[in-house]
Amino acid sequence: MDDCVRHLGPLDVVTIETKHQNGRWLGKAGNAALAATSLTALADTCITALGATHPATVKIRAQAARWLGKSGEHQAATAAFASLAGDCERSLGADALSTLQARYQGARWETEDRRSQPAVHAAAAGFGRLAADCIRVLGPVHPLTFDARCQYGRWTGHDGDPEEAVDILERLVDDCQTLLGTRHPSAFEARQLYIRWLGKATTVTAAMTAFAALIDDCQRGLGPAHMITLRTRYLHARCTGEAGDPLAAATALTNLYLDHEELRGRDHPDSLRLRQEQAQWTGEAGDFAAAVRKLKDLANQRGIRSGARAPETVAVRAALTHWMDKLAVAAPS
């Protein structure tokens, strides 16, 4: 990177892209705050030299805002995307893809801190407006439209109207199946979200049955190793436990973990999350000792991998304490 600055100058396209990639990889290496700082400084340079809505500037501003959010600065990320959306709308127009993308990302990061009911209602309304604009400008199944419609359905459900969420998502499923085909990944993903809210609007048993059918369709259409297939198996296992069969849920999660371990490795974040969930349902099935044993092993692995104070390590230790207390109460005096 220093060689690019020295030989090409700080504003050469190669220098800018090199700095951009350096910032991205800082974030991917686990230093989100440093990535955000580096990319924000680069974005400021690009705004001055190239203009606020030059394609390179827009890309780097979006990356800087994204890493702000990933570093925990959700409000700063929301503000950065709002500023980017405003600049894009003034310069490129309200219907420009860059404007719509910035609006979506700003709304998404804003939801990270939305817990009050008025804020949840505002999120649902905001995603509803964005989804309508995306349908009008980009079409009903453009990737950005798809994401906005998913968020609209999700936040409508969180706003206390799961029946309306089901209707919103059912229309999305229909559009995906009609325009993209029944075996397109987006069609399966839309069905997955639709079923989750179907369970909240009706019964968990109905969702469990629908997820079982979706697993079969995913395995035929996407293959057993596709992430949508694996995610559907996970959701089906959770529904099984919530429907009153924790032992079957634990067994299903054990089998799913073994597949994850083979495909992605023992230390992959998804594999580690599955182990914690499997231990949880093992405890719910009444085998407190096995739950404690599994969580002790997982807590040690989390501590080595992420550190003792990492949120995921703290969460595992809290679960371990819970099941150790259960085991102590159940032990004969």
pLDDT, tens digit, 9 for 90 and up, residues 43-92: 999 998 899 999 999 999 999 999 999 998 999 999 999 999 999 999 99
Give me Rg for the CA atoms of the chain: 23
d(CA 209, CA 313): 34
What tens digit of pLDDT does each residue of 286-317 get? 999 999 999 999 999 998 888 888 888 999 99
What tens digit of pLDDT does each residue of 274-288 get? 999 999 999 999 999
Residue 27's pLDDT is: 86
Where does the pLDDT of residue 19 fall: very low under 50, low under 70, confident under 90, or very high at 90 and above? confident
Distances (CA, A) of 142 to 53, 85, 103, 152, 171: 23, 19, 16, 15, 14
The answer to whether the CB of 210 falls within 8 A of the CB of 198 is yes
Residue 113's pLDDT is: 73
Residue 308's pLDDT is: 86
Higher pLDDT, 4 or 209: 209
Which domains occur in the chain, in start order? Answer: 1-113 (1.25.40.10)
Token representation of residue 300: 């040690």
Higher pLDDT, 7 or 52: 52
The CB density around residue 286, as the number of other CB atoms within 10 Å, is 12
The answer to whether the CB of 313 falls within 8 A of the CB of 302 is yes
What tens digit of pLDDT does each residue of 214-247 get? 999 999 999 999 999 999 999 999 999 999 999 9
Task: Give the DSSP letter string of 41-77.
Answer: HHHHHHHHHH-TTSHHHHHHHHHHHHHHHHTT-HHHH
Model's pTM, two decimal places? 0.88
Long-range contacts from 285-293, C-beta under 8 angstroms, 24+ separation: 285/246, 285/247, 285/249, 285/250, 286/246, 288/323, 288/326, 288/327, 288/330, 289/327, 291/323, 291/326, 291/327, 292/320, 292/323, 292/324, 292/327
What tens digit of pLDDT does each residue of 97-131 get? 999 999 999 999 988 876 778 889 999 999 999 99
Residue 309's pLDDT is: 85
Higher pLDDT, 29 or 101: 101
> What percentage of the chain has pLDDT greater than the value 90?
79
Task: Tell me what the pLDDT averaged over the chain comes to.
Answer: 92
The answer to whether the CB of 177 falls within 8 A of the CB of 145 is no
Averaged pLDDT, 172-181:
98
Residue 307's pLDDT is: 86
Residue 34's pLDDT is: 93
Residue 311's pLDDT is: 85
Residue 12's pLDDT is: 67
